[in-house]
């Protein structure tokens, strides 16, 4: 993914477990994860580290991506699996 200049995209605020964060809304031509590909997918993008997060993440998948799928989320083993997709 190319670097995104913030001024070209609408700003938005989202409430997270660590409070409200500001980011931008971007519509991707396509997005693929867990063997599932969706087209014209809107994502909320923000810098985890600038919001005070001490963890390093590659990103998060929201329930909007998992909508209309059968899935298993294992919080003990830390994985998500799409079932029969």
- In order of 46, 57, 70, the CA distances from 19 in angstroms are 13, 17, 30
Structural domain span for residue 32: 6-82
At 65, which helix (H) or strand (E)?
helix 63-66
The mean per-residue pLDDT over the stretch 21-25 comes to 90
pLDDT score, position 48: 75
pTM higher than 0.95 for the full model?
A: no
Average of pLDDT values for 55-63? 75
- The distance of Cα 58 from the centroid of its chain, to the nearest Å, equals 9
The answer to whether position 21 is within a domain reads: yes
pLDDT at 82 over 90: yes
Within a domain: residue 1? no
Domain count, the chain: 1
Q: What is the mean pLDDT of residues 42-59?
A: 75
In the chain, pLDDT over 70 holds for what percent of residues?
A: 81
């Amino acid at each position: 993914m190319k670097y995104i200049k913030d001024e070209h995209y609408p700003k938005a605020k989202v409430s997270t477990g660590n409070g409200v964060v500001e980011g931008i809304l971007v519509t991707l031509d396509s997005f693929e994860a867990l063997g599932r590909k969706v087209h014209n997918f809107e994502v909320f993008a923000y810098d985890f580290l600038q919001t005070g997060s001490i963890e390093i993440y590659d990103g998060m998948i929201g329930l909007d991506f998992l909508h209309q799928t059968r899935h298993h989320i294992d919080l003990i083993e830390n994985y998500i699996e799409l079932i029969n997709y």
